[in-house]
Amino acid sequence: MDFVQANLPYLLAGISVGGQYALIAIGYTMVYGILRLINFAHGDVFMVAGLLMVYLVTAVPLAAAIPLMILFTVLIGFTIERVAYKPLRSAPRMSIMISAIGVSYLIQNLAYYVTGGLAKTYPSIPWVSDTVTILGATTRRVTLITPVLTIILVIALVALIKYTKIGMAMRAVSRDFETSQLMGIKVDSVISITFIIGTGLAAVGSLLFFSSYTAVTPVAGAMPGLKAFVAAVFGGIGSIPGAVLGAFIIGICENIIKGLGWTTFSDAFTFALLIVILVVKPSGLFGEKNTDKV
């Protein structure tokens, strides 16, 4: 029982962080599945969602701030795709990746300019931010909400992709870009919808993430973003259940490492895991193996 009491907080934190990473990772994995692009700006959009919340609660009541925040974040994600990625669709893959890095740089600098480089305190959301005690371990209620909410959202998303027309279009585009275009699928709008779903989930993720960390800085999105990407690779890029599973594994491992007193290496571990996966099984846990044809 002592052992459980000593380690439960880390496990709980791990599951909750894992859920938050999962919500970001879905954005990466969907975009990569369709555009073959590591959207380096995704983590920064996640950070912007946090900042938007900070500024919105000063203007409107909380109940209105949350949907507005999600709406604005989605708009930003949509705009980024239209402005920075769409013009480069036929350019080499390196250019579009550089564009993504440029967008990430721009967002971070804009955030620095707007906040003046100060860490902004995240508003505490009643009920969600309250502390609760389970099995003798105290934690915030958000820790318990996160995994449940994540799983509900993921099931909804998987259903959307499997059973709706737009979901079918997404699967088709990710399978073969050109052919689906020839079949009359509006590729541009499918890509836009992918970005909208991805950033929307990242906005929900930021709500949960910053509720448990309380401060937003201009670089707050970089690390969670990279880790979520690793989670997406780990699960097999393009596969949503894979990304979610990968995110939970990474979140839990990372917090166990912190619990063992190796905090310096909690980030390094994630990247070590990434490299091992890339070398041993580059297609990830559930990824499809694709071969290059000459």
119 near another protein, rule: CB under 8 A: no
Among 148, 175, 214, 282, binds another protein (CB under 8 A): 282
Q: Which residues fall within 8 angstroms of residue 198, CB to CB, at 6 or more apart? A: 26, 27, 28, 30, 31, 39, 42, 77
Q: Which residues fall within 8 angstroms of residue 72, CB to CB, at 6 or more apart? A: 52, 56
- What binding mask, one character per residue, do residues 209-248 give for another protein by CB under 8 A, x or -? ----------x--x---x--xx--x---------------
Minimum CB–partner distance for residue 277 and another protein (Å): 10
Minimum CB–partner distance for residue 266 and another protein (Å): 9
Q: Name residue, tokens 């371990």.
A: 137
Minimum CB–partner distance for residue 10 and another protein (Å): 19
Minimum CB–partner distance for residue 79 and another protein (Å): 13
Q: Which is nearer to another protein, 66 or 249 (CB)?
A: 249
Pairwise CA distance, residues 145 & 122, whole Å: 18
Closest CA to 118 of 182, 62, 54: 54
Q: Which is nearer to another protein, 103 or 197 (CB)?
A: 103
Pairwise CA distance, residues 167 & 161, whole Å: 4
Q: Name residue, tokens 């579009």.
A: 96
Q: Which is nearer to another protein, 42 or 140 (CB)?
A: 42
Minimum CB–partner distance for residue 118 and another protein (Å): 10
Residue range at the interface with another protein (CB under 8 A); choices 52-60, 175-183, 195-203, 269-277: 269-277
User: What is the footprint of another protein within residues 42-101 (CB under 8 A)?
Assistant: 83-84, 87-88, 91, 93-95, 97-99, 101
Helices (H) and strands (E) in the chain, counts: 11, 4
Pairwise CA distance, residues 38 & 150, whole Å: 22
Residue range at the interface with another protein (CB under 8 A); choices 59-67, 185-193, 252-260, 277-285: 277-285
Q: Which helix (H) or strand (E) holds 134?
A: strand 131-134
**108 and 219 Cβ atoms separated by less than 8 Å:** yes
Q: What is the CA radius of gyration of the chain?
A: 19
Structure tokens at 157: 């998303």
Where does this chain bind another protein (CB under 8 A)? Answer: 36-38, 83-84, 87-88, 91, 93-95, 97-99, 101-106, 108-110, 112-113, 116-117, 219, 222, 226, 229-230, 233, 264-265, 267-268, 270-272, 274-275, 278-279, 282, 292, 294
